[in-house]
Amino acid sequence: MIQQAVLDATPVATPAADPVPVPLSSCRTGSVVRFLRAQLDPESCDLLRALGVTRQCQLTLCKAGEPCIVQVRSTRIGLSRDVARGILVVPESAGA
C-alpha cells in the first residue's frame, strides 16, 4: 500500500502543448517556420505544392511584406500578402 502511494505521488511529465499556428504574413524576416496548412483556393494550394511547399516542410522568411519572399529548400519564391495570410505555419525559431 505504501508503494502505491509513492507511485501516485510521482509527478507525471505532460507533453508540451502543440505550438499555435500563425499566418506566414505575421512572421518577421529571418523566421524559420514549418508549413502546417494553407487556407486558400484549390488552385493556389496546387501551385504551392508544385513549388515545393508541402506539409511540414521548413520555410525561411527572407522578406516580409509585399511580396513575401520565402526560401523553400534551395529555392526562393515570392508570395502576395494575401497568399502569405492564408498560409499557416508553426514557428521554429525565436525570430518568428
DSSP letters of 11-54? --PPPPPPPPPEEGGGSPTT-EEEEEEE-S-HHHHHHHHHTT--
Task: Tell me the β-bridge partners of 60.
Answer: 32, 71
pLDDT of residue 5: 45
Residue-wise pLDDT tens digits, 9-68: 544 555 556 788 999 999 999 999 999 999 999 999 999 999 999 988 999 999 999 999
Q: What CATH number has the domain spanning 19-91?
A: 2.30.30.90
User: Is it the case that residue 69 has pLDDT exceeding 90?
Assistant: yes
pLDDT of residue 18: 72
Neighbours of 60 (CB within 10 A): 19
The domain segmentation of the chain, as residue ranges, is 19-91
Cα separation of 10 and 18, whole Å?
Answer: 24
Helix, coil or strand: residue 60: strand
pTM of the model: 0.76
